[in-house]
Homo-oligomer: A and B are copies of this chain.
Amino acid sequence: MTEKQQNILTSGLELFASEGYNNISTSKIARHAGVSEGLIFRHFENKEGLLNAILAQGAETAAAYYSTIVLESDPKTAIRKAIELPMSIPREELNYWRLIYRLKWQQFNYGAEMAEPLRSALIIAFQELEYSMPEAEADLVLAYIDGMATTVLLHPERNADQIAASMINKYSL
């Protein structure tokens, strides 16, 4: 991984996240990265290849997140951690998640299969706590996470901590 190669990845993430995959041309990325346009294709074959490389790099750090919940043995702690997930996104990963959410509403459907292990973990947690509809309860938390992530990424003026506290309050955790 050369320096320019990493520059392309970083610029691509920043631009794709802030303006959208289709609104950003390869020439813009090259200019932003201080690199010739052809280099993008040398390293990543095509525009979608660049996107996949960006997503792969982001997914590595993102996977660490999910794992702390999936590996949590106490069901109450797991649910609490899941609810707090959207606010615990570190600054440097905000762009990655902005990109994921943008792509979800383009033709691709990234991020869907990524959340599957989290869903399983939540179902198990609610089963252990003997909820009558553990799957619906898990999907509710997932819907909340989805909406809350949108709030954090698009409306940073809202008080996310208070909202999450209200949600946690609905469960006896």
Q: A residues bordering B, Cβ < 8 Å?
A: 19-20, 22-23, 101-102, 104-107, 109, 112, 133, 135-137, 139-140, 142-148, 150-151, 154-155, 158-159, 162-163, 165-167, 170
Q: List 19 A-B contacts (CB under 8 A).
A: A23-B106, A101-B105, A109-B154, A112-B155, A133-B166, A136-B159, A136-B163, A136-B165, A139-B151, A139-B158, A139-B163, A140-B144, A140-B166, A143-B151, A143-B163, A144-B144, A146-B147, A146-B151, A170-B170
The count of identical subunits is 2
Chain A interface mostly: helix
CA distance A95 to B139 in the complex (A): 23
Q: A162 and B150: CB pair below 8 A?
A: no
Q: Which one of B105, B137, B167 lies within 8 Å of A105 (CB-CB)?
A: B105
Residue of B nearest to A86 (CB): B143
